[in-house]
């Protein structure tokens, strides 16, 4: 297998964008073409104004500025990029299926399949095809079947190289990954392909951190890693409910157990519930796979992680309604944060969407401020949830219009909080800690409630100012 000198990445999203920017930066001798069917997204990646990049990630703009138009190119010419490439990364979205067999559980692989068919049709020479998207175990077999049916003589090696970056820290994670995982065929050609891809990463990743496995282990490790991480969050959130009943403090409990080196301190931050495009989707995919292979006990075990997360989001919303004297109808509730975590503009599966929906069903007036999420995204998220719930198109639904009319998005946090009955903190943006809380208190209705879904503001300081503060996992 020849050295990789030209890479095509299909999918210019949260994974393809940052991952390829870092490969291009660290490997100036490799040409990297990132392609997408979404022409607007490609135009945004090419925008000379770096604040217009489609993804907000700390440090990303600097990397793009260095490599773009040197050896990093963004384009919609997918066929040409496939033809020129030695290695093609498939980095397209794999959302939960919303229709038919496996609806609500299985990963929708139609975009991946389309990529495989396009590669099969276009490629005339041997290629390495890399699964960068998160895929169910044994997808490589399906890709191989499609590629082998081309009949044009090209030979393909299919590798699994899942991505473990977390949004908000993507560049730091890509610079110093805990591991790069590469799974491939066990025959000589498979091993050669693995080594060719490993050589790309060795330009900046120590060789001890590059772990190679059989392809099935690599595919399954990605789902397993996310399931374990999400399980820790659901576990500590389950304990947070008990803390609230008993007077224990979940942050103290988390610290106490995290000091045990067998448990470890990371990923024990109790919250309003995990969000993001990956955890729920990947666990549901794992549950579906377990059921498919007739392992119902294993399926039920993992499904509980998602159920616990739904419970946590619901508990937070219900506590707001209960505390505001059993109704939020006509009451102004300020939302600080809409993104699923800080330092990203991504809102997929954000807890904020579900909490807002529950309060809107009780006829609240919601006023949102998020430093990085635009208003149209917030409305689109709520509309999408309504279509998921009701199955009909939002345009035609008067109930959805009425619901969206009760949502206002602000550019300034103080406007969002002025005259509010309550503030709900949904994302842990650092700037929320530094607000002039005295001013906020003076401008709010009394009693002035704060529901801190991230345990980030100083409870004692706010209580001293007169606020009524509710945290996650802190009993009164």
Ligand X SMILES: NC(=O)c1ccc[n+]([C@@H]2O[C@H](COP(=O)([O-])OP(=O)(O)OC[C@H]3O[C@@H](n4cnc5c(N)ncnc54)[C@H](O)[C@@H]3O)[C@@H](O)[C@H]2O)c1
* Active-site annotation, residues: 278
- Site residues (vs ligand X, CB under 6 A): 10-16, 36-38, 41, 78, 91-94, 111, 114-115, 133-134, 163, 165, 167, 277-278
DSSP lists the bridge partners of residue 305 as: none
Q: Which does 354 bind (CB under 5 to 8 A by kind): ligand UPG, ligand X, none?
A: none
Q: Which is nearer to ligand X, 158 or 324 (CB)?
A: 158
Number of CB atoms found within 10 A of residue 322's CB: 10
User: Is 19 annotated in some ligand binding site?
Assistant: no
**3-class DSSP state of 159:** strand
Q: Does 16 bind ligand UPG (CB under 6 A)?
A: no
Closest by Cα among 97, 114, 121 to 11: 114
Q: What is the rounded CA–CA span in Å between residue 245 and residue 91?
A: 45
Q: How big is the chain, counted in residues? A: 476
What residue has token string 């299919």? 158
Residues 362 to 421: which contact ligand UPG by CB under 6 A? none
Contacts of 113 (CB under 8 A, 6+ apart): 142, 146
**Residue in 422, 279, 302 with CA at minimum distance from that of residue 362:** 422
233 binds, among ligand X, ligand UPG, none (CB under 5 to 8 A by kind): ligand UPG
Q: Which is nearer to ligand X, 14 or 201 (CB)?
A: 14
The answer to whether the annotation marks 258 as part of a ligand binding site is no
Does the footprint of ligand UPG cover residue 166 (CB under 6 A)?
A: yes
Q: Are 283 and 308 within 8 A, CB to CB?
A: no
335 is in an annotated binding site: no
Work out whether 93 is an interface residue with ligand UPG (CB under 6 A). no
Q: Sheet harboring 407-409: ordered strands across?
A: 407-409, 365-369, 332-336, 422-425, 449-452, 468-471
For ligand UPG, the binding residues in 318-347 under the rule CB under 6 A are 340-341
Among 120, 215, 278, 456, binds ligand UPG (CB under 6 A): 278
CA gap 84, 86 in Å, rounded:
7
Beta-carbon contacts of 464 under 8 Å, excluding residues fewer than 6 positions away, are none
* Of residues 284 and 450, the one with the C-beta less far from ligand X: 284
Q: How far is the CB of 120 from ligand UPG (least distance, A)?
A: 27
Spatial separation of the C-alpha atoms in residues 126 and 106, rounded to whole Å: 31
Nearest distance in Å: CB 111, ligand X: 4
Which residue number, 123 or 230, has a Cβ lying nearer to ligand UPG?
Answer: 230
Is 36 or 167 the residue whose CB approaches ligand UPG more closely?
167
Question: Cα angle vertex 137, ends 21, 278, to 5°?
Answer: 50
Q: How far apart are CA 346 and CA 54, in angstroms?
A: 10
- Is 98 marked as binding a ligand? no
Is 392 annotated in some ligand binding site? no
Token readout for 157 is 């090696």
Q: Measure CA of the first residue to CA of the last residue in the chain; give whole Å.
A: 64
Q: Which is nearer to ligand X, 347 or 455 (CB)?
A: 347
Binding-site member from 268, 287, 450, 462 for ligand UPG (CB under 6 A): 268
Q: Is 229 in the site for ligand UPG (CB under 6 A)?
A: yes
Q: What are phi and psi of 31, to 5 degrees?
A: -85, 130
Q: Name the strand (E) or helix (H) holding 113.
A: helix 110-122
Least CB distance to ligand X at residue 34 (A): 10
Of 19-27, 163-171, 244-252, 360-368: span binding ligand UPG (CB under 6 A)? 163-171
163 binds ligand UPG (CB under 6 A): yes
Q: Considering the rule CB under 6 A, would residue 164 count as an interface residue with ligand UPG?
A: yes
| Distance in Å, CB of 234 to ligand UPG, minimum | 9
Applying CB under 6 A, the site for ligand UPG has a residue count of 20
**In the complex, what is the shortest distance from the CB of residue 240 to ligand UPG, in angstroms, rounded to a whole number?**
10
Measured in whole angstroms, the distance separating CA 112 from the mean position of its chain's CA atoms is 18
- Write the burial class of residue 443 (CB in 10 Å: 0-12 exposed, 13-18 middle, 19+ buried): middle
Pick between residue 25 and residue 134 the one whose CB is nearest to ligand X. 134
Q: Is 222 annotated as a binding residue?
A: yes
Q: Does 267 bind ligand UPG (CB under 6 A)?
A: yes
Of 42-50, 261-269, 366-374, 443-451, which segment contacts ligand UPG by CB under 6 A? 261-269
d(CA 47, CA 271): 36
Alpha carbons 133 and 92: distance in angstroms, whole number: 6
> Distance between CA 360 and CA 392 in Å, rounded?
19
Does the annotation flag 336 for ligand binding?
no
Picked from ligand X, ligand UPG, none, the partner binding residue 267 (CB below 5 to 8 A depending on kind) is ligand UPG
226 contributes a contact to ligand UPG by CB under 6 A: yes
User: In the complex, which residues of this chain contact ligand UPG (CB under 6 A)?
Assistant: 134, 163-167, 226, 229, 233, 267-269, 271, 274-276, 278-279, 340-341
């Amino acid at each position: 297998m020849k050295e990789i000198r030209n890479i095509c990445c299909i999918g210019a999203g949260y994974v393809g964008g940052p991952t390829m920017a870092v490969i291009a930066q660290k490997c100036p001798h490799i040409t990297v073409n990132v392609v997408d069917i979404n022409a607007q997204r490609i135009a945004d990646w090419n925008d000379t104004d770096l604040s217009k990049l489609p993804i907000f990630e700390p440090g990303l703009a600097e990397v793009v500025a260095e490599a773009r138009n040197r050896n990093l190119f963004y384009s919609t010419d997918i066929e040409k990029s496939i033809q020129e490439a030695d290695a093609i990364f498939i980095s397209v979205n794999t959302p939960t299926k919303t229709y038919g067999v496996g609806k609500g559980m299985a990963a929708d692989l139609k975009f991946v399949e389309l990529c495989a068919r396009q590669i099969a049709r276009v490629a005339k020479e041997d290629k390495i095809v890399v699964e960068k998207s998160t895929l169910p175990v044994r997808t490589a077999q399906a890709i191989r079947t499609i590629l082998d049916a081309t009949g044009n003589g090209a030979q393909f090696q299919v590798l699994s190289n899942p991505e473990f970056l977390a949004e908000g820290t993507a560049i730091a994670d890509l610079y110093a990954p805990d591991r790069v995982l590469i799974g491939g065929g066990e025959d000589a050609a498979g091993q050669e392909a693995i080594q060719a891809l490993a050589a790309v990463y060795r330009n900046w990743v120590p060789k001890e951190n590059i772990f190679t496995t059989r392809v099935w282990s690599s595919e399954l490790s990605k789902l397993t890693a996310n399931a374990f991480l999400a399980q820790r969050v659901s576990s500590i959130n389950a304990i947070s409910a008990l803390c609230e009943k008993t007077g224990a403090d979940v942050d103290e409990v988390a610290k106490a157990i995290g000091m045990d080196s067998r448990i470890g301190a990371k990923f024990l931050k109790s919250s309003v519930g995990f969000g993001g495009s990956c955890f729920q989707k990947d666990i549901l995919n794992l549950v579906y796979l377990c059921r498919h292979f007739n392992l119902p006990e294993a399926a039920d075990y993992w499904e509980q992680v998602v159920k616990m997360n739904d419970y946590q989001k619901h508990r937070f919303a219900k506590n707001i309604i209960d505390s505001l004297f059993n109704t939020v109808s006509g009451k102004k509730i300020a939302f600080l944060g809409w993104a699923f975590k800080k330092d990203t503009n991504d809102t997929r599966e954000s807890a904020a969407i579900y909490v807002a929906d529950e309060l809107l069903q009780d006829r609240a007036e919601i006023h949102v401020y998020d430093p990085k999420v635009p208003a149209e995204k917030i409305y689109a998220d709520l509309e999408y949830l309504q279509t998921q719930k009701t199955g009909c198109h939002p345009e035609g639904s008067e109930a959805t219009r009425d619901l969206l009319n009760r949502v206002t998005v602000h550019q300034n946090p103080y406007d969002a909080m002025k005259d509010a009955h309550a503030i709900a903190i949904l994302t842990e943006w650092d700037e929320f800690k530094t607000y002039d809380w005295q001013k906020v208190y003076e401008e709010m209705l009394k009693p002035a409630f704060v529901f801190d879904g991230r345990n980030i503001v100083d409870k004692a300081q706010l209580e001293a100012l007169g606020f009524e503060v509710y945290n996650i996992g802190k009993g009164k």
